[in-house]
Protein backbone atom coordinates (compact mmCIF):
# COMPACT_ATOMS: atom_id res chain seq x y z
CA UNK A 1 0.00 0.00 0.00
CA UNK A 2 1.35 3.44 -0.94
CA UNK A 3 0.31 6.07 1.61
CA UNK A 4 0.73 9.79 1.17
CA UNK A 5 -0.35 10.87 4.65
CA UNK A 6 -0.69 9.35 8.12
CA UNK A 7 -2.22 10.94 11.24
CA UNK A 8 -2.49 9.42 14.69
CA UNK A 9 -5.60 10.49 16.54
CA UNK A 10 -7.47 9.78 19.76
CA UNK A 11 -11.24 9.95 19.42
CA UNK A 12 -13.37 10.74 22.44
CA UNK A 13 -16.87 11.99 23.08
CA UNK A 14 -17.95 14.52 25.68
CA UNK A 15 -21.59 13.86 26.57
CA UNK A 16 -21.99 12.53 23.05
CA UNK A 17 -20.11 15.19 21.07
CA UNK A 18 -16.95 13.94 19.34
CA UNK A 19 -13.41 15.25 19.68
CA UNK A 20 -10.58 13.99 17.48
CA UNK A 21 -7.30 14.86 19.23
CA UNK A 22 -4.57 14.87 16.60
CA UNK A 23 -1.36 13.51 18.17
CA UNK A 24 0.83 13.35 15.04
CA UNK A 25 0.72 14.26 11.36
CA UNK A 26 0.00 18.02 11.39
CA UNK A 27 2.91 19.85 9.69
CA UNK A 28 4.86 22.48 11.69
CA UNK A 29 2.94 25.75 11.75
CA UNK A 30 4.23 29.31 11.54
CA UNK A 31 3.32 31.94 14.13
CA UNK A 32 4.04 32.90 17.71
CA UNK A 33 0.61 32.76 19.28
CA UNK A 34 -1.82 29.86 19.07
CA UNK A 35 -4.14 32.10 17.06
CA UNK A 36 -1.33 32.74 14.52
CA UNK A 37 -0.57 29.01 14.27
CA UNK A 38 -4.28 28.27 13.80
CA UNK A 39 -4.47 30.97 11.11
CA UNK A 40 -1.42 29.46 9.36
CA UNK A 41 -3.13 26.04 9.41
CA UNK A 42 -6.22 27.62 7.87
CA UNK A 43 -4.23 29.53 5.20
CA UNK A 44 -1.86 26.74 4.18
CA UNK A 45 -3.34 23.41 5.25
CA UNK A 46 -7.11 23.88 5.19
CA UNK A 47 -7.31 20.81 2.92
CA UNK A 48 -6.43 18.69 5.95
CA UNK A 49 -9.72 19.75 7.57
CA UNK A 50 -11.66 17.70 5.03
CA UNK A 51 -9.25 14.81 5.27
CA UNK A 52 -9.36 14.69 9.07
CA UNK A 53 -12.99 15.57 9.74
CA UNK A 54 -15.20 14.95 6.70
CA UNK A 55 -16.39 11.63 5.34
CA UNK A 56 -15.11 8.98 4.86
CA UNK A 57 -12.86 9.41 7.95
CA UNK A 58 -15.15 11.73 9.89
CA UNK A 59 -18.66 13.21 9.78
CA UNK A 60 -20.54 16.49 10.11
CA UNK A 61 -20.34 16.71 13.91
CA UNK A 62 -16.60 16.03 14.18
CA UNK A 63 -14.32 18.54 15.93
CA UNK A 64 -10.51 18.26 16.07
CA UNK A 65 -8.32 19.45 18.92
CA UNK A 66 -4.82 20.28 17.65
CA UNK A 67 -2.07 20.71 20.27
CA UNK A 68 0.63 23.28 19.37
CA UNK A 69 3.44 25.02 21.27
CA UNK A 70 2.57 28.05 23.39
CA UNK A 71 4.78 30.86 24.69
CA UNK A 72 2.05 32.19 26.98
CA UNK A 73 0.73 29.07 28.70
CA UNK A 74 1.81 25.54 29.56
CA UNK A 75 0.23 24.17 26.38
CA UNK A 76 -1.45 25.50 23.24
CA UNK A 77 -4.57 24.09 21.60
CA UNK A 78 -6.74 25.06 18.64
CA UNK A 79 -10.00 23.67 17.37
CA UNK A 80 -11.25 22.78 13.91
CA UNK A 81 -14.81 21.69 13.25
CA UNK A 82 -16.06 20.10 10.07
CA UNK A 83 -17.48 23.47 8.97
CA UNK A 84 -15.59 26.30 10.74
CA UNK A 85 -12.56 27.17 12.91
CA UNK A 86 -13.68 27.65 16.52
CA UNK A 87 -11.81 30.17 18.72
CA UNK A 88 -12.66 28.13 21.78
CA UNK A 89 -14.40 24.81 22.38
CA UNK A 90 -15.35 23.49 25.81
CA UNK A 91 -16.33 19.95 24.94
CA UNK A 92 -13.15 19.49 22.87
CA UNK A 93 -10.96 20.82 25.69
CA UNK A 94 -12.55 18.22 27.98
CA UNK A 95 -12.00 15.55 25.29
CA UNK A 96 -8.36 16.61 24.91
CA UNK A 97 -7.65 16.33 28.66
CA UNK A 98 -9.38 12.93 28.84
CA UNK A 99 -7.25 11.81 25.88
CA UNK A 100 -4.04 12.94 27.62
CA UNK A 101 -5.15 11.10 30.76
CA UNK A 102 -5.93 7.92 28.82
CA UNK A 103 -2.44 7.85 27.33
CA UNK A 104 -0.55 8.79 30.51
CA UNK A 105 0.35 12.13 28.91
CA UNK A 106 -1.01 14.58 31.49
CA UNK A 107 1.86 16.86 32.49
CA UNK A 108 3.54 16.34 35.83
CA UNK A 109 1.74 18.16 38.62
CA UNK A 110 -1.58 18.27 36.73
CA UNK A 111 -3.43 16.33 39.43
CA UNK A 112 -2.44 18.98 42.01
CA UNK A 113 -2.41 22.19 39.97
CA UNK A 114 -4.06 21.64 36.62
CA UNK A 115 -2.52 23.63 33.77
CA UNK A 116 -2.98 26.69 31.61
CA UNK A 117 -3.82 26.32 27.92
CA UNK A 118 -3.55 29.07 25.31
CA UNK A 119 -6.44 28.93 22.81
CA UNK A 120 -7.26 31.37 19.99
CA UNK A 121 -9.83 32.96 22.35
CA UNK A 122 -7.32 33.45 25.19
CA UNK A 123 -5.81 31.55 28.08
CA UNK A 124 -7.97 29.07 29.95
CA UNK A 125 -7.21 26.93 32.97
CA UNK A 126 -8.01 23.23 33.19
CA UNK A 127 -7.78 20.86 36.12
CA UNK A 128 -9.32 17.54 37.03
CA UNK A 129 -10.90 15.50 39.76
CA UNK A 130 -9.25 12.13 40.38
CA UNK A 131 -10.15 8.89 42.12
CA UNK A 132 -7.27 6.51 42.87
CA UNK A 133 -5.21 8.32 40.24
CA UNK A 134 -7.91 8.03 37.54
CA UNK A 135 -9.34 11.18 36.00
CA UNK A 136 -13.07 11.37 36.80
CA UNK A 137 -13.92 14.83 35.53
CA UNK A 138 -12.34 17.83 33.81
CA UNK A 139 -12.81 21.30 35.25
CA UNK A 140 -12.49 24.13 32.74
CA UNK A 141 -12.15 27.80 33.71
CA UNK A 142 -12.99 29.64 30.56
CA UNK A 143 -12.10 33.06 29.15
CA UNK A 144 -14.00 36.10 30.51
CA UNK A 145 -17.59 35.76 29.33
CA UNK A 146 -20.22 38.50 29.14
CA UNK A 147 -23.72 39.46 28.14
CA UNK A 148 -23.43 41.46 24.89
CA UNK A 149 -27.10 42.39 24.31
CA UNK A 150 -30.33 41.77 26.23
CA UNK A 151 -33.92 41.40 25.06
CA UNK A 152 -33.12 41.45 21.35
CA UNK A 153 -36.22 41.02 19.19
CA UNK A 154 -36.02 39.75 15.62
CA UNK A 155 -38.33 38.34 12.96
CA UNK A 156 -37.12 34.85 12.05
CA UNK A 157 -38.40 33.10 8.93
CA UNK A 158 -40.95 30.44 9.80
CA UNK A 159 -40.96 31.38 13.50
CA UNK A 160 -42.21 34.97 13.66
CA UNK A 161 -41.03 37.25 16.45
CA UNK A 162 -38.29 35.77 18.63
CA UNK A 163 -36.67 37.40 21.67
CA UNK A 164 -33.18 36.44 22.75
CA UNK A 165 -30.11 37.58 24.65
CA UNK A 166 -26.68 37.57 23.02
CA UNK A 167 -23.71 36.51 25.14
CA UNK A 168 -20.04 35.62 24.65
CA UNK A 169 -18.40 32.56 26.20
CA UNK A 170 -15.41 32.11 23.85
CA UNK A 171 -17.91 32.07 20.95
CA UNK A 172 -20.92 34.40 20.70
CA UNK A 173 -24.36 32.85 21.17
CA UNK A 174 -27.97 33.84 20.75
CA UNK A 175 -29.63 32.46 23.88
CA UNK A 176 -33.24 31.58 23.13
CA UNK A 177 -35.88 30.22 25.47
CA UNK A 178 -37.04 27.07 23.65
CA UNK A 179 -40.67 27.74 24.61
CA UNK A 180 -40.77 30.27 21.74
CA UNK A 181 -40.55 27.44 19.19
CA UNK A 182 -43.47 25.07 18.80
CA UNK A 183 -41.47 21.81 18.73
CA UNK A 184 -40.91 18.98 21.23
CA UNK A 185 -37.51 19.56 22.84
CA UNK A 186 -36.00 16.17 22.06
CA UNK A 187 -33.35 14.53 19.91
CA UNK A 188 -35.91 13.14 17.46
CA UNK A 189 -36.64 16.68 16.33
CA UNK A 190 -32.99 17.75 16.07
CA UNK A 191 -33.11 18.57 12.36
CA UNK A 192 -36.22 20.76 12.86
CA UNK A 193 -34.44 22.56 15.73
CA UNK A 194 -31.48 23.05 13.37
CA UNK A 195 -33.82 24.78 10.90
CA UNK A 196 -35.23 27.00 13.65
CA UNK A 197 -31.76 27.87 14.96
CA UNK A 198 -30.49 28.73 11.49
CA UNK A 199 -33.50 31.00 10.87
CA UNK A 200 -32.65 32.90 14.08
CA UNK A 201 -28.94 33.07 13.23
CA UNK A 202 -29.74 34.34 9.74
CA UNK A 203 -32.10 37.03 11.06
CA UNK A 204 -29.49 38.23 13.56
CA UNK A 205 -26.51 38.11 11.22
CA UNK A 206 -27.99 39.76 8.15
CA UNK A 207 -28.13 43.46 8.88
CA UNK A 208 -30.06 43.35 12.17
CA UNK A 209 -27.56 45.75 13.78
CA UNK A 210 -27.17 43.40 16.76
CA UNK A 211 -23.92 41.58 17.62
CA UNK A 212 -23.23 38.74 15.17
CA UNK A 213 -23.64 35.26 16.59
CA UNK A 214 -21.73 32.07 15.86
CA UNK A 215 -24.41 29.71 17.14
CA UNK A 216 -27.85 29.58 18.72
CA UNK A 217 -28.42 27.98 22.13
CA UNK A 218 -31.98 26.92 22.94
CA UNK A 219 -32.59 26.46 26.67
CA UNK A 220 -35.40 24.72 28.48
CA UNK A 221 -35.60 25.09 32.28
CA UNK A 222 -35.06 22.03 34.51
CA UNK A 223 -34.49 21.74 38.26
CA UNK A 224 -31.26 23.65 39.05
CA UNK A 225 -30.49 24.68 35.49
CA UNK A 226 -31.54 24.04 31.93
CA UNK A 227 -31.41 21.58 29.08
CA UNK A 228 -29.38 23.00 26.17
CA UNK A 229 -29.55 22.39 22.46
CA UNK A 230 -26.93 24.34 20.52
CA UNK A 231 -27.39 24.77 16.78
CA UNK A 232 -23.95 25.17 15.26
CA UNK A 233 -24.66 25.31 11.52
CA UNK A 234 -26.95 23.76 8.90
CA UNK A 235 -27.81 20.27 10.13
CA UNK A 236 -25.12 20.47 12.80
CA UNK A 237 -25.93 20.58 16.51
CA UNK A 238 -23.88 20.08 19.63
CA UNK A 239 -24.59 16.74 21.26
CA UNK A 240 -22.99 18.02 24.51
CA UNK A 241 -24.44 20.81 26.71
CA UNK A 242 -21.72 22.96 25.02
CA UNK A 243 -18.88 24.40 27.10
CA UNK A 244 -18.76 27.83 25.46
CA UNK A 245 -22.57 27.97 25.29
CA UNK A 246 -22.80 27.11 28.99
CA UNK A 247 -20.26 29.88 29.67
CA UNK A 248 -22.39 32.35 27.74
CA UNK A 249 -25.45 31.22 29.75
CA UNK A 250 -23.61 31.77 33.05
CA UNK A 251 -22.67 35.29 31.92
CA UNK A 252 -26.27 35.98 30.90
CA UNK A 253 -27.79 34.67 34.14
CA UNK A 254 -25.24 36.50 36.28
CA UNK A 255 -25.78 39.79 34.42
CA UNK A 256 -29.54 39.41 34.87
CA UNK A 257 -29.09 38.84 38.61
CA UNK A 258 -30.40 35.27 38.32
CA UNK A 259 -27.20 33.40 39.29
CA UNK A 260 -24.87 34.37 42.12
CA UNK A 261 -21.14 33.57 41.96
CA UNK A 262 -20.58 30.00 43.18
CA UNK A 263 -24.22 28.93 42.79
CA UNK A 264 -24.53 25.64 40.88
CA UNK A 265 -25.98 25.56 37.36
CA UNK A 266 -26.78 22.19 35.77
CA UNK A 267 -26.45 22.28 31.98
CA UNK A 268 -27.89 19.13 30.44
CA UNK A 269 -27.59 18.03 26.85
CA UNK A 270 -30.62 16.94 24.89
CA UNK A 271 -30.01 13.35 26.10
CA UNK A 272 -29.91 14.39 29.78
CA UNK A 273 -26.11 14.13 30.27
CA UNK A 274 -24.95 17.07 32.43
CA UNK A 275 -22.12 19.54 32.81
CA UNK A 276 -21.88 21.06 36.31
CA UNK A 277 -21.22 24.77 36.02
CA UNK A 278 -20.90 27.91 38.09
CA UNK A 279 -19.65 31.47 37.96
CA UNK A 280 -16.17 31.09 39.46
CA UNK A 281 -15.30 34.78 39.56
CA UNK A 282 -16.59 38.17 38.56
CA UNK A 283 -14.21 39.73 36.01
CA UNK A 284 -13.88 42.13 33.09
CA UNK A 285 -13.95 41.42 29.36
CA UNK A 286 -11.25 42.63 26.93
CA UNK A 287 -13.09 45.92 26.43
CA UNK A 288 -13.56 46.47 30.17
CA UNK A 289 -17.18 45.30 30.15
CA UNK A 290 -18.52 43.43 33.23
CA UNK A 291 -17.83 39.73 32.75
CA UNK A 292 -17.54 36.45 34.63
CA UNK A 293 -15.04 33.60 34.66
CA UNK A 294 -17.19 30.52 34.04
CA UNK A 295 -16.30 27.12 35.41
CA UNK A 296 -17.63 24.08 33.57
CA UNK A 297 -17.10 20.50 34.75
CA UNK A 298 -17.71 17.47 32.55
CA UNK A 299 -16.12 14.26 31.37
CA UNK A 300 -15.19 12.68 28.07
CA UNK A 301 -14.85 9.01 27.17
CA UNK A 302 -12.40 7.50 24.71
CA UNK A 303 -13.89 5.82 21.65
CA UNK A 304 -10.84 5.02 19.49
CA UNK A 305 -7.07 5.17 19.11
CA UNK A 306 -6.54 5.30 15.37
CA UNK A 307 -4.14 5.94 12.55
CA UNK A 308 -5.89 7.80 9.74
CA UNK A 309 -4.46 6.95 6.36
CA UNK A 310 -4.60 8.64 2.97
CA UNK A 311 -3.69 6.15 0.27
CA UNK A 312 -1.75 7.76 -2.58
CA UNK A 313 -4.40 6.97 -5.22
CA UNK A 314 -7.51 7.82 -3.14
CA UNK A 315 -9.83 9.77 -5.50
CA UNK A 316 -11.59 11.43 -2.52
CA UNK A 317 -8.48 12.75 -0.74
CA UNK A 318 -10.23 16.05 0.13
CA UNK A 319 -13.11 14.26 1.89
CA UNK A 320 -16.73 15.23 1.41
CA UNK A 321 -19.60 16.41 3.59
CA UNK A 322 -23.16 15.78 2.42
CA UNK A 323 -25.43 18.74 3.18
O1 LIG B 1 -18.42 22.76 23.80
O2 LIG B 1 -17.83 24.82 23.43
C3 LIG B 1 -18.25 23.75 23.05
C4 LIG B 1 -18.57 23.56 21.61
C5 LIG B 1 -18.55 24.50 20.63
C6 LIG B 1 -18.92 23.87 19.45
C7 LIG B 1 -19.17 22.55 19.73
N8 LIG B 1 -18.96 22.38 21.07
Domains annotated for the chain, with CATH where assigned, are 3-128+302-311 (3.10.310.10), 146-299 (3.10.310.10)
Report pTM: 0.97
pLDDT for the residue numbered 4: 84
Query: Omega before 134 cis (within 30°)?
Result: no
- Is 269 touching ligand 1 by the criterion CB < 6 Å? no
- Is 23 touching ligand 1 by the criterion CB < 6 Å? no
Distance in angstroms (rounded) separating the CA atoms of residues 198 and 67 = 31
Minimum-distance ligand 1 atom for the alpha carbon of 244: 2
Task: Look up residue 11 and give its DSSP letter.
Answer: E
Average pLDDT, the chain: 97
| Mean local confidence (pLDDT), 260-264 | 98
pLDDT for the residue numbered 311: 95
Distance in angstroms (rounded) separating the CA atoms of residues 73 and 13 = 25
Separation of CA 313 and ligand 1 centre (Å): 35
pLDDT for the residue numbered 93: 98
User: ∠ CA 202-54-189 to the nearest 5 degrees?
Assistant: 50
Separation of CA 133 and ligand 1 centre (Å): 28
With cut-offs at 50, 70 and 90, classify the pLDDT of residue 1.
confident
| Mean local confidence (pLDDT), 274-290 | 92
Separation of CA 249 and ligand 1 centre (Å): 13
With cut-offs at 50, 70 and 90, classify the pLDDT of residue 289.
confident
Distance in angstroms (rounded) separating the CA atoms of residues 184 and 193 = 9
| Mean local confidence (pLDDT), 297-317 | 96
Identify which of 64, 80, 86 to mutate to test ligand 1's pocket (most ligand atoms within 8 A of the CB).
86
| Contacts of residue 180, Cβ cutoff 8 Å, sequence gap at least 6 | 159, 162, 163
DSSP-based three-state secondary structure for 96: helix
pLDDT for the residue numbered 171: 98
| Mean local confidence (pLDDT), 248-261 | 98
89 is catalytic: yes
With cut-offs at 50, 70 and 90, classify the pLDDT of residue 256.
very high
| Mean local confidence (pLDDT), 175-187 | 97
Identify which of 64, 245, 247, 297 to mutate to test ligand 1's pocket (most ligand atoms within 8 A of the CB).
245
Separation of CA 236 and ligand 1 centre (Å): 11
pLDDT in tens, 34-87: 999 999 999 999 999 999 999 999 999 999 999 999 999 999 999 999 999 999
pLDDT for the residue numbered 164: 98
Distance in angstroms (rounded) separating the CA atoms of residues 79 and 86 = 5
Q: Is the pLDDT of residue 322 over 90?
A: no
| Mean local confidence (pLDDT), 88-114 | 98
Nearest CA to ligand 1 atom 5: 89
- The pairs formed by 263-266 with CB atoms below 8 angstroms and a separation of 24 or more are 264/224, 264/225, 265/224, 265/225, 265/226, 266/222, 266/223, 266/224, 266/225, 266/226
Q: Count CB neighbours of 284 within 10 A.
A: 12
Q: Is the pLDDT of residue 257 over 90?
A: yes
With cut-offs at 50, 70 and 90, classify the pLDDT of residue 151.
very high
Query: Of 85, 31, 87, which Cα lies nearest the Cα of 53?
Result: 85
Give the percent of the chain with pLDDT over 90. 95
pLDDT for the residue numbered 200: 98
User: ∠ CA 152-157-162 to the nearest 5 degrees?
Assistant: 25
pLDDT for the residue numbered 288: 85
Separation of CA 311 and ligand 1 centre (Å): 31
- Is 13 touching ligand 1 by the criterion CB < 6 Å? no
| Mean local confidence (pLDDT), 294-319 | 96
pLDDT for the residue numbered 287: 84
Q: Is the pLDDT of residue 2 over 90?
A: no
Nearest CA to ligand 1 atom 8: 242
Identify which of 59, 237, 240 to mutate to test ligand 1's pocket (most ligand atoms within 8 A of the CB).
240
| Contacts of residue 269, Cβ cutoff 8 Å, sequence gap at least 6 | 15, 16, 17, 227, 228, 229, 238, 239, 240, 241, 242
Amino acid sequence: MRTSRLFTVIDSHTAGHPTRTVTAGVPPLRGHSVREQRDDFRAVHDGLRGLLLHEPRGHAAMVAAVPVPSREAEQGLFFISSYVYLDMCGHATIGYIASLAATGALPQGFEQNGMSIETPAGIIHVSGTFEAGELTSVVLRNVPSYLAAADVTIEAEGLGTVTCDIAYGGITYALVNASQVDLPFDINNASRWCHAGMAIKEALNTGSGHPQVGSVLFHHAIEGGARHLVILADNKFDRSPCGTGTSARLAQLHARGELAPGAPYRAENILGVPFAAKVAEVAHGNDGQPAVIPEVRGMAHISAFSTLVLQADDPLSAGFLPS
